Amino acid sequence: MRRADLVIVGGGLAGGLCALALRHRRPDLDLLLIEPGETIGGNHLWSFFDSDVAPKQRWLTNPLIGHRWQGYEVRFPAHQRPLEQIYQTIESEKLDQAVRACLAPARILRAQAAELGPTHVLLAGGERIEAGAVLDARGGKAEGLELGWQKFVGQLLTIPQGHGLTRPIVMDATVEQHDGYRFVYCLPFSPTELFVEDTYYSDGPELDRELLRDRIGDYAAASGWQVAARTREEDGVLPVVIGGDFDRLWPKQDPVARAGARGGFFHPLTSYSLPDAVRFACWLAEQAPLDASLGQATRARARRHWKRGAFYRLLTALLFHAAEPGQRYAVLERFYRLSGPLIARFYAGRSTGLDKARILSGKPPVPFFRALRVLKDSL
């Protein structure tokens, strides 16, 4: 029977970062990573602001960063603005390489887990693995909660004559609005390579990939770019949390430790998961009990994260319930008129009391009585 000190089930962003952190901080730990896919991290780009990760935790992310810019910009119908905040991107290939470099091939098991317990994993083929602790990092859709959806298709475009962008466009909401709040996201990887993503804050999770591919082409044509090739492509459907109860997300009777989206460790409004994945991985490697009590410890951490997210769930409810779908962009347009440091703290999930008051103050960019009703229902 196979044994390990800790088994991580799921080799996405959360599981991969946990493996890296543990290998660096607890090198003597007998660690096993179980992932059914061919690669660690799948096919993804994770972009984040410099302030999303605490300086003392950047030892985990800095070796993975493939692209870094000194600022970014946003574009709305009535407001365009550059922001001087470092923005950076990690490619999943780099995470895959880093995990494979620090774990022996025998400690990465390509298999499907059929059953998990606090100290065992049963594989689909029938093999049972005993462990000091098990961590479930298989992702998830935040079951049992009231959700909206952030969905997208992105492509890496080759533009031989050059695209002319020197910094990312994090939100270009000057485009025609469809299916809720729509914006285009651009990352200039080189003077001739541009990653373009068509993104929606939508009521439903349905994703028409072919339609979004066409809209990326339309955006490129409207920008005057002559596209010679479309190479890398990724898509996603991510939950944004409007409301619900933590005990429905993570029932009390479930004793298995969780990481990543399965534990609710993501920003309720932006669905960003990297900042919380970094915090969790560092905590796991430096403080967490790696035994049967790990489930209780991670659930307590998840509950604290849920409580801190109440304000962001309120904003999500305002976005989805108070604003007309075609006018949701106005909520973000108003938000991006606020100070740069406030915006940075918002994305990091570290808004202060004054930040929250500033975000909610003034005339709301949504119908007043709808906003009032959402606020009343949230109390």
pLDDT band of residue 366 (cuts 50, 70, 90) is low
Q: Are 128 and 177 in contact (CB under 8 A)?
A: no
Q: In whole angstroms, how far apart are CA 83 and each of 55, 72, 208, 225, 341?
A: 20, 5, 32, 25, 10
pLDDT at residue 307 greater than cutoff 70 = yes
The whole-chain average pLDDT of the chain stands at 93
Predicted confidence at residue 368, as pLDDT, reads: 47
pTM summary value:
0.93
- Token pair recorded at residue 257: 């430790």
Mean per-residue pLDDT for 266-288?
Answer: 96
> Region 93-118: what's the mean pLDDT?
95
Q: The domain 2-74+85-140+251-308 belongs to what CATH superfamily? A: FAD/NAD(P)-binding domain (3.50.50.60)
- In order, the DSSP letters of 175-222 are SPP-SSEEEEEEEEEETTEEEEEEEEEESS----HHHHHHHHHHHHHH
37 DSSP 8-state letter: S
Can you give the pLDDT at residue 247? Answer: 93
Say yes or no to pLDDT of 370 above 70: no
Q: Does residue 190 carry a pLDDT above 90?
A: yes
Tell me what pLDDT residue 325 has. 85
On whether the 146-240 domain is CATH 1.10.3470, my answer is no
Q: Which residues contact 247 (CB under 8 A, 6 or more apart)?
A: none
Q: How confident is the model at residue 369 (pLDDT cuts 50, 70, 90)?
A: very low
Q: Strand 87-91 to strand 45-49: parallel, antiparallel, or no bridges (unpaired)? A: antiparallel
